[in-house]
Amino acid sequence: MLDFETYKLENVTLLSGEILLDAHLAFKTYGKLNSNKDNAVILPTFYTGSHQRNEGFFGEGRAIDPNKHFVISVNLFGNGLSSSPSNTPAPQDGSRFPKISLWDNVACQYRLLTEHLEVESIALVTGWSMAGCQAYQWAAQYPDFVNAILPFCASAKTSIHNYVFLEGVKAALCADSHWNNGNYQTQPIVGLKAFARVYAGWAFSQTFYRDELFKEIGYESAEALLLDWEKDHADNWDANNLLAKLDTWQAGDISVGPLYSGDYHQALGSIKAKTIIMPCTQDLYFPPADNQIEAELIPNAELRVYNSPWGHCAANPGNDSGFTAALERSIRDLLV
């Protein structure tokens, strides 16, 4: 039995001009919309995330509480639940799946909220990593609809360094002879395992490995962690899905589209939402220096840097209790 709902969008004209045929969004809601229709908290999904994994960011008695808030967890295009290379029929299946931007994701999420769920304003959009990138996108794309955002370990525009990192994991996957330009008959397992090994070197910090913090999450050695990551990617991920979302990540930029025509400063300056940005000091994807620039350009923005050797994965629920506590405080500050 599926634990999510599906909203059919029919044919969607993408920012690129291409049409995504018979598109759908997979989502799950928790709690109820209040009479004012303004208690919605939006949790988009992160790169390898799903609505299930977002459940670690809220709960009864926590800052985001389904007893108070209407929590909407929306799956990113390409994650295998919403429209993706793996579940889209010909002629847009597999490697023929169109490139999807964050603009496209958020435009379709807006339709879900307004056309189907009857939400009239958003109390908060928050999320980790690529989900946080969508929080920025929401605030810039619909500035009068969003009251607050809290992106953590994320950015409003994918940096050149971040882009190059993603080129590395992509190259590792595509080097598998079974990849066949995305037209594989069976999953390119060697490539998926290589992707996982490269990715693990970036997900945690140098300090994490030097101090052997992997032992705190059940791994006897770095090699044990790598083997587990290999298994996770080989068992659970479709290669074209990973690359579809990677393309979306690489193209991330809240100024792309008809509103700002590439003017990044204007896009940031147009954000009306109360904003708290939470980077991690040792995040190798989204360093605090990039977020500092954003905070200076967004009105009513505050930068709260968290120091952690867990790097990008400090935000993964269960890894760093201090980060979780800091995140809870920041969410409460925005939802008062």
Q: Which is catalytic among the residues 50, 129, 205, 308?
A: 129
Check residue 282 and report its DSSP letter.
Answer: T
Specify the residue for token string 């609505």: 51
Specify the residue for token string 């009857």: 118
Q: Which is catalytic among the residues 233, 290, 312, 330?
A: 312
C-alpha distances out from residue 330 to 43, 129, 193, 250, Å: 15, 17, 36, 28
Give me the DSSP letters along 34-55.
-TTS--EEEEE--TT--HHHHG
> Which run of H or E residues covers position 303?
strand 301-303
CA dihedral 171, 264, 120, 99 (to 10 degrees): -30
Residue 144 annotated to the active site? no
Orientation angle between helical segments 160-174 and 189-203, nearest 10 degrees: 150
Residue 283 annotated to the active site? yes
- Bridge partners, residue 275, by sequence: 149, 301
C-alpha distances out from residue 317 to 44, 53, 58, 277, 321, Å: 16, 9, 10, 18, 8
Q: Which is catalytic among the residues 104, 176, 253, 283?
A: 283
Residue 129 annotated to the active site? yes
Catalytic (active-site) positions: 129, 283, 312
